Amino acid sequence: MSLIFCSRADDPDEWRAAFAESLPDLEFRIWPDVGEARDVEVALVWDPMQEQLLRFPNLKLIASLGAGVDHLLAATTLPDGVPMTRIVDGNLTQGMREYVLLQTLFCHRQVSAYMAQQKQQVWRQLGQPFAQDRRVGVMGLGVLGAAAAEALHQIGFAVRSWSRREKSQPGVESFTGLERLDEFLAGCEILVCLLPLTPDTEGIINRRTLSALPQGACLINGARGGLVVEADLIAALETGRLSQAVLDVTREEPLPADDALWRAPNITITPHIASVTNARSGARLVADNIRRIRAGEVPHHLVDPKAGY
């Protein structure tokens, strides 16, 4: 069995070594050196493949290198009947849990305000609410969102969640459906966005939804850049509608040097590092699914292309 690896964002040698440990009999090929196309049965991909996956007549599994698959679904023609999976890994989940906690506390404890005071050599204490009095909302209650909501609840925040489909979690006030979105947003002093990017969620953070937040709210987006209308976000920061924004993702990545987001006030930008797939743990997950395919079993963490995740 051969696997074709296609990702400009990941080190192929690192993944090759990881698969040598997890599945030593697997032949590891690196795009575009596909070799004999009919030998390829697994495609491990991050880059959009357009119609390239149709080249492999014996393909049995398409494995995304990340938790999200929106960019692949938008620009990849999937062969009929070939399952696609995504990475659901404890390390990936822990990374997002850490990032959300870090940035929520950054906003909650007014770190940017104190940094600005330091530059001006100002020694002044700012009023500080208790965590239980700070309302934090999590949009998206999938694997990553649920872990983030649990961590925020454990540290003492008043947590609420919003999802398109009904979900519940202990200690978290749940809101479901577009008809309750504004009600959810009205109680979010810090909004954490961890939604999947689908046609239904494209641009969901926009002028209208931002105006539904309390005055001076903070936004943290650790999901996908396409969820945010960036011009509306910049306007909200410039007018003070938002007091702070943290973006780990943007519509164009890497973010161009002349992009207006770099110059927006009270914004923190990180280069898509909130939660990064680890080669060793990721290879173990993909190897397990390859074994399941070989045994005629259904692989774990299947993607529903119609739902977009």
Which residues are identified as catalytic? 224, 272
Q: Is the dihedral of CA 194, 199, 203, 207 positive or negative?
A: negative
Nearest to 68 by CA among 269, 256, 276: 276
Distance, in Å, from the CA atom of 172 to the CA atom of 250, rounded to the nearest integer, reads 28
- Residues, the chain, total? 309
Please spell the DSSP secondary structure of 68-134, one letter per residue: --HHHHHHBPPPTT--EE----HHHHHHHHHHHHHHHHHHHTTHHHHHHHHHTT---PPP---GGGS
Classify residue 288 by its DSSP letter: H
Asked whether 174 and 160 are in contact (CB, 8 A), the reply is yes
Distance, in Å, from the CA atom of 123 to the CA atom of 22, rounded to the nearest integer, reads 55
Task: Tell me if the bond preceding 32 is cis, omega within 30° of 0.
Answer: yes
